[in-house]
Amino acid sequence: MRKLEEVLEDWEAVIGLEIHAELTTLDTKMFCGCKLEFGAEPNTHTCPVCLGMPGALPVPNRAAIESIVLAGLATNCDIEKHSMFYRKTYMYPDMSKNYQTTQGPVAFCMRGHLDLDVDGAAAKERIDLDGLDVGESRGNVTRTETGYTAHVGITRIHMEEDAGKMVHIGGGEGRIAGATHSLVDYNRAGTPLTELVTEPDLRTPEEARLFMQKLRQIYLALGISDCSMEEGSMRCDGNVSLRRRGAKEFGVKTELKNMNSFKNLHDGLAYEICRQAEVLEEGGQIFQETRHWDPSAKRTIVMRVKETADDYRLFPDPDLAPYDLTDEWIDSVRAKLPELPDQKAARFEDAFGLSAYDARHLVEHRATADFFEACMELAGADAAKLAKPVANLVINDVTAYLNAHEGVQLADTPLTPARALALVRLTAEDAISSKQAKEVFAAVLDEDKDPAAIVEERGMKQVSDTGAIEAVVDAVLAANPDKVAQYQGGKTGLIGFFVGQCMKEMRGQGNPKLINELLAKKLG
């Protein structure tokens, strides 16, 4: 199979996502009073309604509708004041009702969008932006200083309910294949579930990943779900098709399941794009089917061929009256919207003079955004001056540390905002070099001590005394007359050698900026 970047030269990928999020922060299920609790004893949270017993009557959970309206408002959707619940035929043991209650053509939230900022390596998958200047648009894309912005349409967000869970016994890895019997746990059945459907506006696996990440940040900010991809409270199906570059018509799509991490979402789509290209280039045909991404085998396998909407026999639920929302109620929900990640990033740019890039990366995680803000609060009058170095520390060092220590929460580490700020101040005041700052950063986390104490203990003071540095520079130049002659003869690369010698003389404590300046002056 060819590599993704080669395939994308000839083919344009068209991607649409369907993203489910369980409203895990609510107390009760969608149509009954059963408690929502992840990991409870099996079948301890069930009742006649969520089991679908005859005569049981469902009542919609108002808090769940408030949550989905929050989600719609935060993603620029129109909120539909009149909508209905439907029954969708669903014949599988994990839902004993034999239908799923969902919404029909009109969902609570319709016609939204999110704008994705794509930059760095992620922007490289988009190869069709040649000749586009900063600020110029083509299709749904606008060129920015650091990459581009993609405008992604959201078709709808509708309210539905989750199914229970099957546990297959006796097969490999809990799979149904080879199992001798299966158990079913209905605790999850009836959990309020939102489904967001995007327009087919995404063009690269990176855009799909970024969309999912951005939506997750928004839902977390709204507090409507814990959005755990591992535990399945946020799940993503990816629809993907190919068309020849320049073609208008969409190709036949396949739908990928089991993309339960950002990496799987990206890699599954990338694989599927390459697979489809190979089939099409060999003269074959893509069938509309659902495929399962197997990350360990690195391939997708067919699960089932597509059912059509008619097969589901969607019809209005006779037990649930049409739902009416008033303007006053929608406004009261709007008033509860918290600051969203994009707004927070804009505020960071304004208040602290950060670049759009820095601000955006700071707000990627609630923990790092809060940490940065706490540092700025402590910085007081120096906030604007220290914002950039604090942002660098958070975006680079802190993020790298957290990535390397999976499962560790920033708040549980010895790195407090006060210590981070103290470290940044030491560097900003030239008390330690940036190289020494890395060492102090690691030591704060390892030894749970203040930066000043570490600097003191290790005798790390940076020497910024010009007289002392000048003496060392003079001595180094005097000891290496041949190298000085070579430098002056044009081998300017030797500057590194001289800096190194001076640093060695000063046991790494010389201010590199001053050393460089003095060397440049003396070498002419």
Tokens 């099409």 belong to residue: 280
Contacts for 32 with CB less than 8 Å, ≥ 6 apart: 47, 49, 50, 56, 58, 59, 190
468 burial type by CB count under 10 A (0-12 exposed, 13-18 middle, 19+ buried): middle
Q: Tell whether the torsion through CA atoms of 251, 148, 389 and 434 is positive or negative.
A: positive
Q: Which one of ligand ADP, Zn ion, none interacts with residue 210, CB within 5 to 8 A by kind? A: none
Smallest distance from ligand ADP to CB 143, Å: 24
H, E, C per residue of 117-157: EEEHHHHHHCCCCCCCCCCCEECCEEECCCEEEEEEEEEEE
Contacts for 293 with CB less than 8 Å, ≥ 6 apart: 256, 257, 258, 259, 264, 267, 268, 271, 272, 300
Q: How far apart, in whole angstroms, are the C-alpha atoms of residue 396 and residue 59?
A: 49
Pick the binder of ligand ADP from 67, 102, 191, 198 (CB under 6 A). Answer: 198
Q: Which one of ligand ADP, Zn ion, none interacts with residue 382, CB within 5 to 8 A by kind? A: none
β-bridge partners, 35: 28
Q: Does 56 bind Zn ion (CB under 5 A)?
A: no
Q: Which one of ligand ADP, Zn ion, none interacts with residue 17, CB within 5 to 8 A by kind? A: ligand ADP
Pick the binder of ligand ADP from 52, 104, 171, 200 (CB under 6 A). Answer: 200
Cβ pair 4, 16 in contact under 8 A: no
Q: Does 241 bind ligand ADP (CB under 6 A)?
A: yes
Q: Which one of Zn ion, ligand ADP, none interacts with residue 32, CB within 5 to 8 A by kind? A: Zn ion
Q: How far apart, in whole angstroms, are the C-alpha atoms of residue 101 and residue 19?
A: 17
* One-letter identity of residue 125: E
Q: How far apart, in whole angstroms, are the C-alpha atoms of residue 217 and residue 214?
A: 5
Q: Does 47 bind Zn ion (CB under 5 A)?
A: yes
Phi, psi dihedrals of residue 221, rounded to the nearest 5°: -65, -35
**Could you give the 3-state DSSP secondary structure of residue 301?**
strand
Q: Which one of ligand ADP, Zn ion, none interacts with residue 50, CB within 5 to 8 A by kind? A: Zn ion
Q: Does 250 bind ligand ADP (CB under 6 A)?
A: yes
Contacts for 470 with CB less than 8 Å, ≥ 6 apart: 518
DSSP state of 16: E
Q: Which one of Zn ion, ligand ADP, none interacts with residue 18, CB within 5 to 8 A by kind? A: ligand ADP
Q: Which one of Zn ion, ligand ADP, none interacts with residue 470, CB within 5 to 8 A by kind? A: none
Instruction: Indicate the helix (H) or strand (E) that contains 138.
Output: strand 137-138
Q: Which one of ligand ADP, Zn ion, none interacts with residue 16, CB within 5 to 8 A by kind? A: ligand ADP
- Select 107 or 473, whichever has its Cβ closest to ligand ADP: 107
Q: How far apart, in whole angstroms, are the C-alpha atoms of residue 348 and residue 371?
A: 13
165 burial type by CB count under 10 A (0-12 exposed, 13-18 middle, 19+ buried): middle
Q: How far apart, in whole angstroms, are the C-alpha atoms of residue 43 and residue 187?
A: 5
Q: Does 50 bind Zn ion (CB under 5 A)?
A: yes
- Footprint of ligand ADP on residues 253-282 (CB under 6 A)? 253
Q: Does 95 bind ligand ADP (CB under 6 A)?
A: no
- Select 115 or 430, whichever has its Cβ closest to ligand ADP: 115
**Could you give the 3-state DSSP secondary structure of residue 115?**
strand
Q: Which one of Zn ion, ligand ADP, none interacts with residue 289, CB within 5 to 8 A by kind? A: none
Q: Which one of Zn ion, ligand ADP, none interacts with residue 34, CB within 5 to 8 A by kind? A: Zn ion
Q: Does 32 bind Zn ion (CB under 5 A)?
A: yes
Pick the binder of ligand ADP from 16, 58, 190, 510 (CB under 6 A). Answer: 16
Pick the binder of Zn ion from 15, 19, 30, 34 (CB under 5 A). Answer: 34
* One-letter identity of residue 299: R
- Select 60 or 153, whichever has its Cβ closest to ligand ADP: 153
Q: Does 239 bind ligand ADP (CB under 6 A)?
A: yes
CA distances from 136 to 119, 129, 244 (A): 16, 10, 24
Pick the binder of ligand ADP from 17, 110, 159, 212 (CB under 6 A). Answer: 17
- CB under 5 A: which stretch of 24-32, 148-156, 231-239, 314-322 binds Zn ion? 24-32
- CB under 6 A: which stretch of 8-16, 24-32, 209-217, 436-444 binds ligand ADP? 8-16
CA dihedral 263, 158, 190, 336 (to 10 degrees): 90
- CB under 6 A: which stretch of 12-20, 100-108, 270-278, 442-450 binds ligand ADP? 12-20
Q: Does 287 bind ligand ADP (CB under 6 A)?
A: no
β-bridge partners, 291: 256, 302
Contacts for 41 with CB less than 8 Å, ≥ 6 apart: none
Q: Does 189 bind Zn ion (CB under 5 A)?
A: no
Instruction: Please give the radius of gyration of the chain, using alpha carbons only, rounded to the nearest integer.
Output: 29
Q: Does 95 bind Zn ion (CB under 5 A)?
A: no
Smallest distance from Zn ion to CB 163, Å: 13
Q: How far apart, in whole angstroms, are the C-alpha atoms of residue 359 and residue 395?
A: 10
Smallest distance from ligand ADP to CB 509, Å: 58
- CB under 6 A: which stretch of 47-55, 125-133, 235-243, 462-470 binds ligand ADP? 235-243
Smallest distance from Zn ion to CB 189, Å: 8
Q: Which one of Zn ion, ligand ADP, none interacts with residue 197, CB within 5 to 8 A by kind? A: ligand ADP
- Select 240 or 432, whichever has its Cβ closest to ligand ADP: 240
Other Cβ atoms closer than 10 A to 434: 12
> Which positions lie near ligand ADP, rule CB under 6 A?
14-18, 197-200, 239-241, 250, 253
Residues making contact with Zn ion (CB under 5 A): 32, 34, 47, 49-50
